[in-house]
Amino acid sequence: MTDHAIGPARLGIVTPVLTLVPGLHGEWERSGSIDDVVAVARSADRLGFAHLTCAEHVAVSADTGRQRGSMFWDPLATLSYLAAVTSQIRLATHVLVLGHQHPLALAKRYGTLDRLSGGRLVLGVGVGSLQEEFDLLGTPWTDRGARGDDALRALRAALSRPTATYHGEFYDFDDVILEPYAVQDRIPIWVGGRTRRSLRRAVELGDGWAPFGLRLGDITEILTAAGSHDGLEVVLYTPRPIDPLGDPDAARRSLDKAFAAGATKVNVSLQSTSLQHYLEQMEALRDL
């Protein structure tokens, strides 16, 4: 049965302006500024939404940009800025590609962000799906799954402690100092992906599964086949931007379908024609 007590605490905001995916953003976002993003973040914070997101791609080809989008603000810089203008909302990388950075670099940089934000980081990660980006950065592609698993184990060993030791297949360090380090005893790690393996990775090594590019029916099938995953966050998207002001019933149905498919949280994109319209849509979503 669908839980109708949704509330903003179970909804995350796909932050406008920061990532422009063709067909999924308002035209006003093309010229959006950091002031616009701050206004959205402060409003989401005040309204009690669970988290806001920032995705990562370092560089993509022109062809890929036309398909996937080419605007990707850097998560570390952006979320650090937003940490200073908010107080409660969680800050979610959605997602970082594990193979692009050494896990110690991730632990230092994002552990520092967790400290700056007072323990509000959610580390969304994935093993990567864009070979051209790996090639551009000179990072290994063919064994990225195994490397990602090893990186997750190394991150667990390093994120929330001043000294870290880990001996794995790809990463090896002994009694290294990482200060400052994260203030959360266990930073939530959400594993992105669109395969059954990504869910197994999330169950084994993470705290949440954040699939993309899958139909809701496929997600339900994968979750059912996986069996027990108690305590795992399942973070889904609305398939397309919703319009709580113009069509609240359709917006509600979209959210209900996501929760019925197995979501514990839903990342929401909102239809909007301007910053002011976006802020009004957030208010309407809170009241939905």
pLDDT tens-digit profile of 196-234?
A: 999 999 999 999 999 998 999 999 999 999 888 889 999
- Region 145-163: mean pLDDT is 97
Which contacts qualify for 174-179: CB closer than 8 Å, 24 or more apart? 176/104, 178/104, 178/107, 178/108, 178/111
Among residues of the chain, what percentage have pLDDT more than 90? 89
What sign results for the dihedral spanned by CA atoms 118, 259, 230, 214?
A: negative
**How many residues in total does the chain contain?**
288
pTM for the full model?
Answer: 0.94
Check pLDDT > 90 for residue 7.
no
pLDDT of 43 reads: 98
Stronger pLDDT, 228 or 166, i.e. the higher one? 166
- Region 128-156: mean pLDDT is 96
pLDDT of 5 reads: 58
CATH class of 50-187: alpha beta
- Region 101-116: mean pLDDT is 97
